[in-house]
Structure 1
């Protein structure tokens, strides 16, 4: 993601935050209960978003472990998920692959 896109996202988030603060201030000034315009959005924002793990992140972690002398173990992880190479692993298993890679060399 480019730096410009990240900055535009920050500006958008700051505008949204300012709108929310204004709504709270208005409600407090009127001493009346307030409702947000998008109640579902407020709930979604309070829940931590699951960061989608990319193939590049998995590849980097497995390369790190392989360079540490754990190449055979890395191959076993890949085989565990029914593949002969990393790019064939279903992206829904990337988080599990990373968890398996984390414990390599720790035990």
Structure 2
């Protein structure tokens, strides 16, 4: 065989090896992709309307005084004055009212 033929054969062997490595990497990726934990989608922040609905339900259930205290805890006399960054915490506190009764 000539040197040119040898070189062509080596190049083809390298390409075949690269394809085999790529196939192996793809297979491994598929096998273990379910084992890699994925980040859960962040849940959207509650809206004023959602918080208002929950607080209204709690108020009808007899927790009006407790709701007023919660609003004061978050620095407001009424819900529309509560900073939206506190909506989630306010909802958690309000949901805890049912457990207390």
Asked whether the two chains share a fold, i.e. TM above 0.5, the reply is yes
Structure 1: 5+ residue runs without aligned partners?
A: 1-29, 35-45
Provide the alpha-carbon RMSD of the alignment.
2.1
User: How far 1:50 moved relative to its partner?
Assistant: 2.8
Match of residue 53 from structure 1: 46
Gaps of 5+ in 2: 1-21, 27-37
TM-score (norm 2): 0.60
* CA offsets 1:57-80 (integer angstroms, 9 cap, x no match): 111110000000111111111111
Q: Which has the larger radius of gyration?
A: 2
Moved runs in structure 1, 4+ residues, more than 4 A? none
**Structure-1-length-normalised TM-score:** 0.57
1 CA distance for matches of 2:46 and 2:52? 11
Q: Give secondary structure in 2 for the equivalent of 1:92.
A: helix
Aligned residues: 69
